[in-house]
């Protein structure tokens, strides 16, 4: 057993959410019961993940994508109202960590994804850890790298191949919806850039900037940070954790 207050104090100490300018509140978003024995984990606090967590008798759910995003309507109606009502009815808390969970140098989405892809030579490009550059263990053609990504993430990436010389050796990476960092990746001087989503404009940018782009899925690239964090919570705080997922091709 662990108090919610202690859990949040530990998470805040590990991730320093106050040092990020984020699009949603980090930490407790919905406050439920005081004591935590079972902590459910998920990428997104969707209705399916909520029901999976409640069926497991979770005391709290910790996700990467919570609620109360900037510019969304503040009213608790419709889909949003139904989701939040389930937490309140069950007296279960919702905790969310967005950018602090993307950027963490040990268990963040970026480093957890690189670890999952078998890459261990990498460094952050910026001080926060938003964009990273990895050197592949062996240089790969775009096709071979796409096959590797598909084998590890169980989802085929969309690949925009730039006309470049030779195979990919250095690749920049930022999980989620970070396709618009492509020009920053190009400025770093990498062979390729990997993120989750792709926009129409991304295709032209990749071709014209000469950087091969891999859209490996927003959800698919952000499944590993919260699981790595869960492992750390289990090891350091001794509560039960379980990861729940809802298939999402986007």
C-alpha dist (Å) from residue 43 to 67, 176, 226: 12, 11, 7
Please say whether the beta carbons of 35 and 57 come within 8 A: no
Tell me: does residue 176 bind Zn ion (CB under 5 A): yes
Please say whether the beta carbons of 42 and 63 come within 8 A: yes
Residue 183's Cα: distance from chain center in Å?
21
* 92 vs 181: CA distance, rounded Å: 36
> Which residues are 93's β-sheet partners?
60
Residue with the shortest CB distance to Zn ion: 176
C-alpha dist (Å) from residue 11 to 5, 159, 226, 234: 10, 36, 12, 12
DSSP 143-192: HHHHHHHHHHHTSPPEEE----SS-EEEEEE--SS-GGGHHHHHHHT-SE
The nearer residue to Zn ion, 64 or 168, going by C-beta atoms, is 64
Q: Which stretch binds Zn ion (CB under 5 A): 10-18, 150-158, 163-171, 215-223?
A: 215-223
The nearer residue to Zn ion, 59 or 222, going by C-beta atoms, is 222
The nearer residue to Zn ion, 205 or 222, going by C-beta atoms, is 222
Q: How far is the CB of 216 from Zn ion (least distance, A)?
A: 13
Tell me: does residue 42 bind Zn ion (CB under 5 A): no
Tell me: does residue 17 bind Zn ion (CB under 5 A): no
* 62 vs 51: CA distance, rounded Å: 14
Nearest to 43 by CA among 69, 61, 68, 18: 61
Q: How far is the CB of 42 from Zn ion (least distance, A)?
A: 12
The nearer residue to Zn ion, 25 or 139, going by C-beta atoms, is 25
The nearer residue to Zn ion, 113 or 239, going by C-beta atoms, is 113
**Total residues interacting with Zn ion, rule: CB under 5 A:** 2
Q: Residue 179: which residues within 8 A CB-CB, separation 6 or more?
A: 195, 196, 197, 198, 199, 202, 213, 215
Q: Which stretch binds Zn ion (CB under 5 A): 81-89, 165-173, 214-222, 227-235?
A: 214-222
Tell me: does residue 108 bind Zn ion (CB under 5 A): no
Tell me: does residue 129 bind Zn ion (CB under 5 A): no
Q: Which stretch binds Zn ion (CB under 5 A): 80-88, 149-157, 175-183, 205-213?
A: 175-183
The nearer residue to Zn ion, 32 or 100, going by C-beta atoms, is 100
Q: How far is the CB of 127 from Zn ion (least distance, A)?
A: 20
* 87 vs 89: CA distance, rounded Å: 6
The nearer residue to Zn ion, 109 or 142, going by C-beta atoms, is 109
Q: Which stretch binds Zn ion (CB under 5 A): 28-36, 159-167, 218-226, 236-244?
A: 218-226
Chain residues binding Zn ion by CB under 5 A are 176, 222
């Amino acid at each position: 057993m662990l108090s919610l207050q202690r859990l949040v104090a530990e998470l805040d100490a590990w991730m320093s959410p106050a040092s990020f300018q984020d699009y949603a509140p980090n930490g407790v978003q919905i406050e439920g019961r005081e004591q935590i024995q079972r902590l459910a984990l998920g990428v997104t606090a969707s209705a399916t993940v909520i029901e999976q967590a409640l069926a497991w008798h979770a005391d709290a759910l910790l996700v990467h994508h919570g609620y109360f995003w900037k510019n969304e309507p503040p009213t608790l109606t419709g889909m949003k109202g139904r989701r939040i009502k389930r937490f309140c009815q069950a007296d279960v808390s919702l905790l969310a960590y967005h950018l602090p969970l993307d950027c963490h140098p040990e268990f963040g989405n970026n480093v957890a994804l690189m670890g999952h892809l078998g890459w261990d030579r990498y460094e952050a490009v910026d001080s926060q850890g938003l964009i990273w550059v990895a050197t592949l263990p062996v240089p790969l053609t775009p096709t071979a790298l796409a096959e590797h990504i598909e084998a590890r993430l169980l989802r085929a990436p969309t690949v925009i191949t730039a006309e470049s010389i030779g195979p990919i050796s250095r690749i920049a990476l930022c999980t989620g919806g970070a396709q618009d960092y492509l020009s920053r990746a190009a400025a770093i001087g990498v062979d390729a850039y990997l993120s989750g989503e792709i926009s129409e404009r991304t295709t032209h940018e990749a071709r014209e900037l000469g950087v091969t782009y891999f859209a490996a899925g927003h959800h698919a690239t952000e499944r590993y940070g919260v699981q790595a964090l869960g492992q750390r919570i289990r090891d350091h705080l001794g509560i039960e954790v379980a990861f729940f997922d809802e298939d999402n091709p986007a």
